[in-house]
Structure 1
């Protein structure tokens, strides 16, 4: 169940994704601007009186919260300095403009001004300032989720972004060279934050601890409180990751790992609490109210997290911190900071264990403050934003008021506030991070009012805002690693709610109508876009996934192929099937659509999920003589396949390609049973990640070669024992014999470095890896066991393939045997699918659970023999599985069903 803490973090992130000195603390801005006025006085005599007056006027406007007017004043002053070639003063004004634009969330403008100011300072050999502004620029990139660029500016980019190169000209190198301790601490602090956002928590902690050490040695008290706060966030993020690892380990049945991760999470929470308290003590001592508020908000998140409440009786402390934050809010001067803090406090939720919801944005959970208190805070936030003329923060405050009334079911007021929020967010600011929320909110309200057309239009605008030119979806997916786990709260519900609207509209139309087909197409396109987002979210990086073809796979000219797409909604599941149009084929209706789509519903998604999980559990019982799995296998066939059985027969379908959603990804579809035979005995079967993420193209395997890697010895990795795979040597030897020119690596030769070296030296169309593998909820728990008691993570593997296997053609086939996924873990197979998409591999063959390596050898070798006889990949797998079934009629499907083909099935 999503925790209240997670939802609070999601909301807070969405409110401040492009603005916040609270969560993404600026290590230099507060110091830079505080010293600006004094520094300005030193050089004021060297400038024109008018420009000087404008700069001073801008300072006063900025401090009063009127950022737009400050920008106008500074831009006029900048023009004057440019006309007189006063580069030094121009650089200082550009610096302030960058800070102001950051406050407004206009980061493209901020980046341009940072770069121009850096160029000015570099030309005048003010290298200390160059280093400091490189740190500022890096922080801006981090806010946009572009942490790779941030790390490059701070210390130089390595291939993996894991180690600081301290490159010449980087912020850290400049600070160290010129003994700028303040700049060094700021660069290290920003670097630690960038590592945290990338999910490199241990590296973040190591870097931040070093930053803290230098700050303490040089008595830099402001930076000490920042370092404590950042360390608290790093440990909190690490604790969240370990919680996810607990869930993943439970699904795999790894009890030892489960207990280990629980202990680590508990330790991390305690460390986070200690660091936040240290930060609070320092900020109170220095009377730094804004930093106090930042730390108090972090403590509120910590105290109201249910797992932390289990550590000790924190109820009293939590209430004290909340009251301190409310009191502190009153003391803050009016500013955009104050607006966002008020919104955060109004939105704190009461943790209710019995309540579960699929979407933070649509849910109406009890608040920690009562309704009238929350409304008062939000109204106050609106007034403050209006008084300082900050349309951006005004947009969020109005939008949250709209949500408050939405929860009260006062839809007219809700819509009025939502429209105001949308207008404020669109006012010169292009604030897409708020606009998509309010379009989404408007869509929900219209739907509640039974205004279907208006609802659909609003959802379409929300998705277009996310995905269009300059959209923000990618930033939402990768900006902060610990938000990857909140994906179902931030992005997924929007797409699923829109798909539901389109499917329901299709239901009301005649099946033969063109409008029916268009509505189903629209729903499929939305979910396809969501699938790509899920993959990007799972891997959590800024890699551009390979879209193999602009054509949809369900529109390709394959007369013998049907495409089954599933769409899981909260209460039911849609199955949409794309079939060849027989009337078009027979030229009865020459203008008819080439493919026809049909819709069937599976009622009660919760019960369906239970049935799927039961099927996975039953079918994995290798030696169950009762064949208990058959009941579930037949029930699932009746739910998924039978509604379309006649259509499949009439169209003479030979291959079924599944584009699965959620928990359906872990279903071995080959083992569904119609009462007479398994599905694979009648159809070749494949799965593909999405409509556009596969390029179906036949390949001649007779002239190809492979790199085969195998593990035959028992090993221990991270305390977990893996038994010897006795038949792997035979499997690899027989496979490589079929492909002349192949190479094989066993045991100690089979390492991450060995794989890299081979990929550097030669381009292998096929890679075969026979070893233990695990696919978990998160990439860290998705790995393959290598020689020397080591492992290679799935992200390392795809990175190596992508970097070293180059060439104009993608790798044709990756085969992973002896892998397993957790029962009920619907995210685990994203790791498998991600290999084909992120690394650009056309097809992958992998197993959903571990199979006796003797059966694996037989199946895989037969699969390769079939490929060489010019069968399609899907047909080759089908015949290999049928061969095992025919060879031994009593063979349990657990031995052949888990092998799934992902990607190009031809």
Structure 2
């Protein structure tokens, strides 16, 4: 279950609040109003006296509403609290009370965040603070790098902020973290701390807690991305960063815990966060040690020694849980229970159940169904007795469904699917897995867009649901091929969810890429699906007549695949003897493709739908003992069968943009160092123009971000060819194309979709994948989706410039003579592979066509 944290969602205090200084301000205001009222009663007409009395009443009503909203939120009634604070804002607006307006808007944001509406909460906060709303933008044209610069600029505008502004800034830092904008969150919270430290007697513990939580998220982000890094030096650098970040955050939490006279709620939350980080770091270190990293053994021992004392410290202040407002008490108890359950100790497991049961009683007392659903669901996950576990989970699911809380309903249905699968009741397991997928789909745009926990742990918190259900469907598929068809459709759905998560753009509609194309379409005679599950690889072949399946033990294929991936990613690949590369590629072919060979056509077109494990596999160089795959087949890769439909694409309106010299964009912080100029770009452009004279060009200083956008706004190109350095990565901020003045981030291409252009093909020459990143295919697919391109031609590694000129020239010649994109690419690759100079796979095997 997703951890819910309450790290300083400070509200503007009311008359019964703890902030004495602010309450005194209101008392002083009443005193002034009373004196003023006495003066007016003597010297002014009765109409003015009535007006003053009315303002006093409005002021009193606004404060009563503030108090009411606070009580409602504390009871978990976030929606009701939001409405109450909206009413309070209206009173303050009538009174023209600027500080009151700001405070109630901040309160509204807190309520929205409690409802998991973080994006709306962010927008309310920037309105309260009078700063640019683009700070909250996720899918806007601004990259995260640009957004960070915007945050810096906006924070500089704040002049002598008062206490209410500090509360707003702290909450802004919190909500930016929950939106996954970690560098921006860190920046805001550090600025907030600096301002608060300049005010006398201001308690900064809540800000320090928020900042530590953001630093913890930065650790989690690095740890999750590390899973896909394979290049040794980059991997070592990331390991060092993860360790340093974890130790620093653990120390920050401990410093906060040791601070005298901090509020008990802050101390408790710091202890809980520190414990969860200890457990997470321990798990990561153990996994790394099992993979052979012996240097972590000493660190593992240090971390293990800190876990028990951390638990004991929390158990000693049990009463602190009860001092929290009801909603915070429920979530903190559940978080502690989940942490205790990760420790292999039966006694602590019993304590975890006690805390979860206590949370349930508190939740029942509030009557709030979301709180009760979370408590029942946690009990269902913790209880080892299957009958009780099912009962708890069914109650949790029912409550979540009754309030349409699909973001938690799918979690309980997932757990029920697991339980029924373990008990071999496959039909019921099928029902619950299907319901979980359906409810995840309902809320997927919100979960992937505005939930940083999911953004940074997609592989752990979303992908397993799909893979478990695919595995179940394949088991059921032994008796019915309808289940097999459903399994491959589910893999396609997972592929699109991954692209959405990469783009952080909400729902990505496949139709937006495949619509409005005038070229005839032909179906592929065979589509191959490669799906990696926990212990095996599933290979499925879909033809117009039937679906066929082959299963391979993962232990057999893992090492040959790793060898092949390592070979092609190595900078010395070009110097590797072709015979050595044939050994790896032939082994992979024999394991995965030889058993399904009988279901494939003798030649023609093949489409591939690959899960994330296989997406950087150089399919063209797979070898059957006599021929490469490319010798017989036109190959295209897509996220789904629909995306692979082949189209005839004779380029008409074409735009070619390129950078041949070192330009200002080379010095951008996100761009790898030591990139070389590309003098061959001009030759490549001239060769392409020979195949298509009606071509527009932007070369070197002409190719700025603004000129590129402007020319596309004024024209509708069917082909855009970018001959410049580009990089693809599973990290959206490391995926870009270099214009003359700046890198074009993936988000910078969104205007192509917004202009409803009929972009049939996007070609990226001189591109490469990010260092050691096996999931870099996501960058290619994401760029195609963001640009609205039907197809994208790119390479998995940085290839030779001169050979690329020849390949691109042959490719465009093929399109000119009426070939499909896949046919044209195949013939271009064959022209190199059969040549005396460029026969090595390094020169031609990295090019892939994504889409049709």
Taking structure 1 as the reference length, what is the TM-score of the superposition?
A: 0.77
Structure 1 counterpart of 2:720: 767
Pairing 1:648–2:627 present: no
Structure 1 counterpart of 2:249: 272
Structure 1 counterpart of 2:496: 532
Rounded Cα–Cα distance in structure 2 between residues aligned with 1:420 and 1:455: 17
Rounded Cα–Cα distance in structure 2 between residues aligned with 1:893 and 1:783: 25
Equivalent position to 1:34, from 17, 24, 29: 17
Cα pair 1:229 1:295 within 8 Å, conserved: yes
Pairing 1:689–2:639 present: yes
Equivalent position to 2:478, from 498, 504, 507: 507
Q: Secondary structure at the match of 2:749?
A: helix
Pairing 1:21–2:6 present: yes
Rounded Cα–Cα distance in structure 2 between residues aligned with 1:670 and 1:151: 52
Cα pair 1:563 1:657 within 8 Å, conserved: yes
Q: 1:369 to 1:342 in 2, by over 3 A?
A: farther
Q: CA deviation at 1:531?
A: 1.6
Q: 1:643 to 1:302 in 2, by over 3 A?
A: closer
Structure 1 counterpart of 2:47: none
Structure 1 counterpart of 2:577: 625
Rounded Cα–Cα distance in structure 2 between residues aligned with 1:722 and 1:260: 20
Pairing 1:348–2:318 present: no
For each residue in 1:856-905, what CA deviation from the matched residue of structure 2 results, as whole angstroms up to 9, or x when unmatched?
111111111111222111111111112223334981222111100012x1
In the TM superposition, 1:413-812 aligns within 5 A as 413-426=388-401, 428-468=402-442, 471=443, 473-481=444-452, 483-509=454-480, 516=481, 518-542=482-506, 544-545=508-509, 547-548=511-512, 558-581=522-545, 596=546, 598-618=547-567, 621-625=573-577, 627-649=579-601, 654-691=604-641, 697-701=647-651, 703-713=652-662, 720-747=673-700, 750=703, 752=705, 755-756=708-709, 758-759=711-712, 762-785=715-738, 787=740, 792=743, 796-803=744-751, 806-812=754-760
Pairing 1:860–2:808 present: yes
The alignment's C-alpha RMSD in Å is: 4.0
Equivalent position to 1:878, from 816, 826, 834: 826
Q: Secondary structure at the match of 1:519?
A: helix
Q: 1:368 to 1:310 in 2, by over 3 A?
A: farther
Cα pair 1:694 1:842 within 8 Å, conserved: no
Q: CA deviation at 1:557?
A: 7.3
Structure 2 counterpart of 1:588: none
Rounded Cα–Cα distance in structure 2 between residues aligned with 1:700 and 1:32: 73
Equivalent position to 1:294, from 253, 257, 269: 269
Q: CA deviation at 1:29?
A: 6.1
Cα pair 2:620 2:629 within 8 Å, conserved: yes
Q: CA deviation at 1:808?
A: 2.9
Structure 1 counterpart of 2:39: none
Rounded Cα–Cα distance in structure 1 between residues aligned with 2:61 and 2:9: 23
Q: 1:183 to 1:879 in 2, by over 3 A?
A: same
Cα pair 1:774 1:783 within 8 Å, conserved: yes
Pairing 1:831–2:783 present: no
Structure 1 counterpart of 2:188: 207
Q: 1:638 to 1:32 in 2, by over 3 A?
A: farther
Rounded Cα–Cα distance in structure 2 between residues aligned with 1:259 and 1:675: 37
Rounded Cα–Cα distance in structure 1 between residues aligned with 2:309 and 2:163: 34
Q: CA deviation at 1:413?
A: 2.7
For each residue in 1:714-761, what CA deviation from the matched residue of structure 2 results, as whole angstroms up to 9, or x when unmatched?
967657322344533322332244333534445555554564455456
Q: CA deviation at 1:203?
A: 3.1
For each residue in 1:315-369, what CA deviation from the matched residue of structure 2 results, as whole angstroms up to 9, or x when unmatched?
5554433222222233432723223222222222688xxxxxxxxxxxxx73696
Q: CA deviation at 1:112?
A: 5.0
Q: 1:453 to 1:138 in 2, by over 3 A?
A: same
Rounded Cα–Cα distance in structure 2 between residues aligned with 1:456 and 1:704: 50
Taking structure 2 as the reference length, what is the TM-score of the superposition?
A: 0.82
Q: 1:312 to 1:573 in 2, by over 3 A?
A: closer
Equivalent position to 2:840, from 892, 895, 903: 892
Equivalent position to 2:132, from 156, 159, 176: 156
Rounded Cα–Cα distance in structure 2 between residues aligned with 1:800 and 1:387: 50
Q: CA deviation at 1:290?
A: 1.7
Q: CA deviation at 1:453?
A: 1.1
Q: CA deviation at 1:663?
A: 1.4
Rounded Cα–Cα distance in structure 2 between residues aligned with 1:392 and 1:721: 53
Rounded Cα–Cα distance in structure 2 between residues aligned with 1:747 and 1:543: 36
Structure 2: 5+ residue stretches without partners? 31-55, 135-140, 286-295
For each residue in 1:799-858, what CA deviation from the matched residue of structure 2 results, as whole angstroms up to 9, or x when unmatched?
222126743334222212233336874422111111112332221111011211111111
Q: CA deviation at 1:126?
A: 2.7
Rounded Cα–Cα distance in structure 2 between residues aligned with 1:664 and 1:545: 23
For each residue in 1:376-408, what CA deviation from the matched residue of structure 2 results, as whole angstroms up to 9, or x when unmatched?
332333333334444433333332332233xx4
Structure 2 counterpart of 1:146: 119
87-96 vs 797-806, which deviates more? 87-96
Rounded Cα–Cα distance in structure 2 between residues aligned with 1:187 and 1:466: 32
Q: 1:566 to 1:266 in 2, by over 3 A?
A: closer
96-105 vs 621-630, which deviates more? 96-105
Rounded Cα–Cα distance in structure 1 between residues aligned with 2:434 and 2:400: 18
Equivalent position to 1:187, from 155, 159, 168: 168
In the TM superposition, 1:50-129 aligns within 5 A as 95=66, 111=82, 113-129=84-100
Rounded Cα–Cα distance in structure 2 between residues aligned with 1:720 and 1:300: 39
Q: CA deviation at 1:460?
A: 1.6
Q: Secondary structure at the match of 1:332?
A: helix
Q: CA deviation at 1:228?
A: 0.7
Rounded Cα–Cα distance in structure 1 between residues aligned with 2:527 and 2:83: 47
Q: 1:712 to 1:605 in 2, by over 3 A?
A: farther
Q: Secondary structure at the match of 2:412?
A: helix
Count of residue pairs the alignment pairs up:
785
Structure 2 counterpart of 1:329: 318
Q: 1:264 to 1:611 in 2, by over 3 A?
A: closer
Cα pair 2:719 2:762 within 8 Å, conserved: yes
Rounded Cα–Cα distance in structure 2 between residues aligned with 1:889 and 1:420: 69
Q: 1:631 to 1:832 in 2, by over 3 A?
A: same
Rounded Cα–Cα distance in structure 2 between residues aligned with 1:251 and 1:748: 36
Equivalent position to 1:251, from 224, 230, 240: 230
Q: Secondary structure at the match of 1:770?
A: strand
Rounded Cα–Cα distance in structure 2 between residues aligned with 1:574 and 1:140: 46
Q: CA deviation at 1:245?
A: 6.2
Q: CA deviation at 1:479?
A: 2.7
Q: 1:535 to 1:672 in 2, by over 3 A?
A: same
Q: CA deviation at 1:530?
A: 1.7
Rounded Cα–Cα distance in structure 2 between residues aligned with 1:707 and 1:830: 24
Q: Secondary structure at the match of 1:322?
A: helix
Equivalent position to 1:850, from 787, 793, 798: 798
Q: 1:242 to 1:377 in 2, by over 3 A?
A: closer
Rounded Cα–Cα distance in structure 1 between residues aligned with 2:75 and 2:691: 63
Rounded Cα–Cα distance in structure 2 between residues aligned with 1:150 and 1:609: 50
Cα pair 1:681 1:882 within 8 Å, conserved: yes
